[in-house]
Structure 1
């Protein structure tokens, strides 16, 4: 799950790009978020790491939005889907999750 600061920046990027048909610059993001440039760069780096945007400090004003909305918690999402399908995730001999298996009975 995203931290509040990351979620806020992601929503600003998504809304800004939808309304203006272009991505915001770092200066515009700074104005909208009230964050320092250093903190903003850290937040953008975290969004890259999480797979929400494509961005590099070498070209700071070029942001590509990959996913506009926050993903649900992956573990809970997978568990809920598996449960609804009658599937179960089991641990292998080393304690790692293996593929889900259909429950019978």
Structure 2
């Protein structure tokens, strides 16, 4: 499960790429998130360790490759079952 800064940065990266078809450079990323380059680097390394992004050339933020743009759900969704009798349809 991601913490708040990781989740927000992941959404910023995804939305930036979806609207502009490229990853932001450091200047744009610091302007959008109001974080320093050191804070962003730490958060990006954490996202890479969780395998949400791939960041091979760490010289710039424009080399980030998105693997997933949203947080994974650790718990499966609850199963919904269909009633076996007609009471669902006949009783209100």
Q: Sort the TM-score into its range (normalised by shorter chain).
A: 0.7 to 0.9
Larger Rg: 2
- In 1: Cα distance, 2:57 partner to 2:27 partner: 14
Q: Structure 1 or 2: larger strand share?
A: 1
The aligned residue for residue 70 of structure 1 is 71
Deviations 1:48-101 (A, max 9, x none): 00111011463322110110111012xx23xx57xx5xxxxxxxxxxxxxxxxx
TM (normalized to structure 1)? 0.67
The aligned residue for residue 17 of structure 2 is 17
Q: How does 1:1-105 map to 2 (within 5 A)?
A: 1-56=1-56, 58-61=58-61, 62-73=63-74, 76-77=75-76, 84=79
- In 2: Cα distance, 1:57 partner to 1:39 partner: 18
Please tell me the root mean square deviation across aligned C-alpha atoms, in Å.
1.6
User: Structure 2: 5+ residue runs without aligned partners?
Assistant: 80-92
Q: How far is 1:35 from its partner?
A: 0.5
Q: Residue 44 of structure 2 aligns to a residue in which SS?
A: helix
- In 2: Cα distance, 1:58 partner to 1:24 partner: 13
Q: Residue 22 of structure 1 aligns to a residue in which SS?
A: coil
User: Structure 1: 5+ residue runs without aligned partners?
Assistant: 85-105
Q: Which has the higher contact order (CA 8 A, sep 6+)?
A: 2
In the alignment of these two chains, the number of paired residues is 78
